[in-house]
Amino acid sequence: MIKWQTLLIKEIRHLFRDTKTIIQTVVVPTFLTPLLITGIVWYISSIAIEESKKDYEVALYDIGNNELVKKFEEAERLNITIYDSIDKIVDSVKNESSEIGIVIEDGFQQNLTNNTSSEITIYSKNIDTFSQAKSLAEDVIDNFENDERASRLSSLNLDEEFINPINILEEDLTTEKEAAGSIFGGILAFFFVMYVITGSMYPAIDLGAGEKERGTMETLVSTNISSLEIIVGKMLSVTASAVLTATFSLLGFIIPVLIIFFFYADSIPESLFDTLSSLVNPIAFLGIFGLIIPLSILMGALLLAVSVYSKNTKEAGLLLGNLVIVFFLPAYIPLFNPGLELDFIGSIIPCYNLALLTNSLIAENTNWMLYLSALGSTVVYCCIAIYITYIMFDDEKIIFRS
Amino acid sequence: MIEVKNLSKQFMVPTDKKGLFGKKKEPFWAVDSLDFSASKGSVVSILGPNGCGKTTTLRMIAAMLTPSRGTAFIDTLDVRKHKQKIKSKIGYMTNNTSLYDRLNVIETITFFAELNQIPKDIYKERAQKLFDQLDMNDYLLKRISDLSTGMKQKTSIVRTLIHDPDLIILDEPTTGVDVTGQSVIVDLIKSIKESGKTLIFSTHQLNEVRDIADHIIVMKAGKKVFDGDNQQFQNLDNDKSFTEIFMEMVDD
């Protein structure tokens, strides 16, 4: 057996005998993250369901006792309280005794009679994103306005088409696969990047700064293994941990989807079923893994370089914590901008390219030239990172830095 | 045969002066113009107070650090030029046990034997002899983290010797070891000496030196202050003990 293989086997054995590695590589991505996501989705859904049944307190200012007030009072789920000043309405919303406040302009009824327009002001706290009070109130106002508009047109013997010369019809041609790519691609890629980083971070610290701290690095460099062989053995160990973590994270997504397919297929909406079906795409996942492996090598080499430079595990944790932000940020961007499309520049930005290519691989509309550009650039970065790591391992000032 | 010629090592060390990026650094000669030679089969002891350059000297001889000036030859091989070849001839034991906590004794020895590319049947036989000699057979499947300091030290000795090196370098082998452990190491050094291998060790324990070493080198602040054998050392002052002579030699 050649030396780097001997070292690789030893490193993997040493790493995976540590409970922390098993938790980080297997337990968290396979069980904890799906449970966490399910818990968050369940919590948000339960809040949304609760809000859909809730009655809302509405503070209303009106001095004209007009028709619109009657409509509000007749509306379901809105408990109307009439106030005699705008200040009281504002205070009521501010101190949250009312969900929203509605101020109907003085002379509202007179303006209706005169066929002129009036203002209605809605006070709310928009930070409560789940509240349906505002939309319920707007529905009441919209219905009232539609009736009033129809009445005015009718009094002039005009048809509604008179004020609507153009009707815009929308047809959404998004396929289920594209929807799945847009909805889940960014999330999946973000999780992959996160797991490649977390899966390589602890092993990198352990095999670099950890070995320096324990003194085993000195023992290792006293043997006749070369710096390059040390790097290859250690880097592949870190990479193996990162790829394993990413694989288990993938299983963490696939297993719940398969459970839904086999046991709950009848009880989920057809559109959701179709979207989930689009996710189970072997070619997409092969394509994603084709990108994850060089990304893992890149991470492994870079994190190892920083780790071995560090005097101890504490310094390594601090330095690597800052370094990983550089990789996290590009993966964040597509998550919050679902419409982004990959171009050549984007295709050479690590993590950003993975996120957008994950979208397109699931949507089955991948530009394979950009895929190759992403793959090629990551391989180039890998070579640079390995070279940097080689310099670090070959420098006695760094190996014995303490 | 070891030939050390003008061996020197300079480090940049922090001073009390503050610079733009932390403390300013200035050059410091950890080892300065060291010369000595040792014939095959001899036992060389390097003595000196903490920070006198013993570990740096041993690391340079073991081809782990590159000398800033001068060099050392191990069987005519220059440590500057033939690092890998020299490392394969050397068994180096650091001043702490420095083993992989999560491996057991057998796995540890197997790892270092395979790293030195020793055929399986050879290293198994060699390891078994050492296990018997050091009375380790009951501990072979125990993880390093579960071993006592003495047993870790014994494991470290076996891993140092597993590839049957020509030159054995032990950096303060008895530091942090209890009396029993020290006795094991002293016995082992004696058996290495009997086997005709060359051995260099650094130590603070002067009685070990008196009992075992053929050749004594005393260092102070990176420089050699004594080079000779046991008798020559004692002859410096026959009315004083070994320790007293040493203390006078290194005292500021």
pLDDT (mean) for B161-190: 84
By the 8 A CB rule, do A214 and A275 touch? Answer: no
Report residue A64: phi and psi, to 5°.
Answer: -105, -5
By the 8 A CB rule, do A279 and A362 touch? Answer: yes
pLDDT value at residue A19: 87
Q: How many CB atoms lie within 10 A of CB B32?
A: 20
Say how many Å lie between the first and final Cα of chain A, rounded: 33
Residue A167 lies in a domain: no
Helices A227-263 and A33-53, packing angle to 10 deg = 40
Q: End of a domain among A162, A189, A205?
A: A162
Q: End of a domain among A103, A135, A162?
A: A162
pLDDT value at residue B57: 96
Chain B contact present for A13, CB below 8 A: yes
Strands (E), A67-169: 78-83, 100-104, 120-124
Angle at A218 (CA atoms; ends A237, A393), nearest 5 degrees? 55
Least confident range from A52-56, A185-189, B65-69, B137-141: namely A185-189
> Tens of pLDDT along A331-372?
888 877 777 888 999 999 998 998 889 888 888 888 999 999
Q: Write the CB contacts of A176 (distance below 8 Å, at least 6 apart in sequence).
A: A271, A274, A275, A277, A278
Q: Please list every residue in chain B whose beta carbon sits closer than 8 Å to the beta carbon of residue A4.
A: none
pLDDT value at residue A91: 92
* CATH number of the domain encompassing residue A114: 3.40.190
Site of tokens 């399910």: A38
- What single-letter amino acid sits at A299? M
Chain B contact present for A221, CB below 8 A: yes
Q: What is the spatial distance between Cα B204 and Cα B209, in angstroms, rounded to a whole number?
A: 9
pLDDT value at residue B58: 95
Q: Both A270 and A392 in a single domain? A: yes
DSSP 8-state secondary structure symbol assigned to residue B104: B
> Tens of pLDDT along A288-301?
889 988 999 998 89
Which token pair is B230? 């046991």
Of A7, A13, A222, the CB nearest to B64: A222
**Greater pLDDT, B95 or A311:** A311
Q: What is the pTM of this model?
A: 0.79
Q: Please list every residue in chain A whose beta carbon sits closer than 8 Å to the beta carbon of residue B111.
A: 6, 10
By the 8 A CB rule, do A243 and A296 touch? Answer: yes
User: What are A282-287's contacts with CB under 8 Å, separation 24+?
Assistant: A283/A361, A284/A358, A284/A361, A284/A362, A284/A364, A285/A250, A287/A357, A287/A361, A287/A366, A287/A371
> Tens of pLDDT along A198-237?
888 889 999 999 999 988 999 999 999 998 999 999 999 9
The C-alpha of A16 sits at a distance from chain B's nearest C-alpha, in angstroms, of: 9
> Is residue B135 predicted with pLDDT exceeding 80?
yes
Residue A201 lies in a domain: yes
By the 8 A CB rule, do A395 and A304 touch? Answer: no
Chain B contact present for A7, CB below 8 A: yes
By the 8 A CB rule, do B37 and B4 touch? Answer: yes
Which token pair is A230? 């040390």
By the 8 A CB rule, do A183 and B67 touch? Answer: no
- What percent of chain B has pLDDT above 70? 100
Q: Write the CB contacts of B69 (distance below 8 Å, at least 6 apart in sequence).
A: B6, B7, B8, B10, B33
User: What are A378-382's contacts with CB under 8 Å, separation 24+?
Assistant: A378/A291, A378/A294, A378/A295, A378/A298, A378/A350, A378/A353, A379/A294, A381/A298, A381/A350, A382/A294, A382/A297, A382/A298, A382/A301
Q: Both A300 and A387 in a single domain? A: yes
Residue A359: closest CA among A395, A334, A390, A333: A334
Q: Both A218 and A362 in a single domain? A: yes
> Tens of pLDDT along A8-63?
999 999 888 888 888 888 888 888 877 877 777 778 778 878 888 889 999 998 87
> Tens of pLDDT along B74-86?
998 999 999 999 9
pLDDT (mean) for A146-160: 89
pLDDT (mean) for A105-128: 86
Cβ <8 Å between B111 and A10 = yes
Beta-carbon-side half-sphere exposure of residue B30 (alpha carbons within 13 Å): 19
Angle at A82 (CA atoms; ends A79, A83), nearest 5 degrees? 135
**With bands split at pLDDT 50, 70 and 90, how would you rate the model's confidence at A141?**
very high
Q: Write the CB contacts of A115 (distance below 8 Å, at least 6 apart in sequence).
A: A152
At the topology level of CATH, where does B2-97+166-250 sit?
A: Rossmann fold (3.40.50)
DSSP 8-state secondary structure symbol assigned to residue A310: S
> Tens of pLDDT along A249-269?
878 877 777 777 777 777 666
pLDDT value at residue A388: 92
Q: What is the spatial distance between Cα A245 and Cα A234, in angstroms, rounded to a whole number?
A: 17
Q: Residues of B at the A interface (Cβ-Cβ below 8 Å)?
A: 59, 62, 64-66, 84-85, 87-88, 90, 92, 94, 96-103, 107, 111-112, 114-117, 159
Q: What is the spatial distance between Cα A205 and Cα A308, in angstroms, rounded to a whole number?
A: 8
pLDDT value at residue A340: 81
Residue A46 lies in a domain: no
Cβ <8 Å between A10 and B66 = no
pLDDT (mean) for B159-180: 87
DSSP 8-state secondary structure symbol assigned to residue A156: T
Q: Both A254 and A384 in a single domain? A: yes
pLDDT averaged over every residue in chain B: 89
In angstroms, how far is CA A326 from the centroid of its own chain? Answer: 17
Cβ <8 Å between B94 and A3 = no
What range defines the domain where residue A295 resides? 3-35+174-399
pLDDT value at residue B223: 94
Strands (E), chain B: 2-19, 22-38, 43-47, 69-74, 77-78, 90-93, 167-171, 198-203, 215-220, 223-228
3-class secondary-structure state, position A104: strand
Of A18, A216, A223, the CB nearest to B87: A223
pLDDT value at residue A221: 92
> Is residue A130 predicted with pLDDT exceeding 80?
no
Strand ranges across the sheet with A100-104: A78-83, A56-61, A100-104, A120-124
**Domain locations along chain B:** 2-97+166-250
Q: Write the CB contacts of B187 (distance below 8 Å, at least 6 apart in sequence).
A: none
> Is residue A181 predicted with pLDDT exceeding 90?
no
**With bands split at pLDDT 50, 70 and 90, how would you rate the model's confidence at B114?**
very high
> Tens of pLDDT along A60-99?
988 776 788 888 888 889 999 998 889 999 999 999 899 9
Strand ranges across the sheet with B215-220: B90-93, B167-171, B198-203, B43-47, B215-220, B223-228
- Please give the full DSSP string across B172-202, using - where no structure is assigned: STTTT--HHHHHHHHHHHHHHHHTT-EEEEE
In angstroms, how far is CA A203 from the centroid of its own chain? Answer: 26
Helix (H) or strand (E) holding A61: strand A56-61
- The count of domains in chain A is 2
Q: What is the spatial distance between Cα B146 and Cα A107, in angstroms, rounded to a whole number?
A: 88
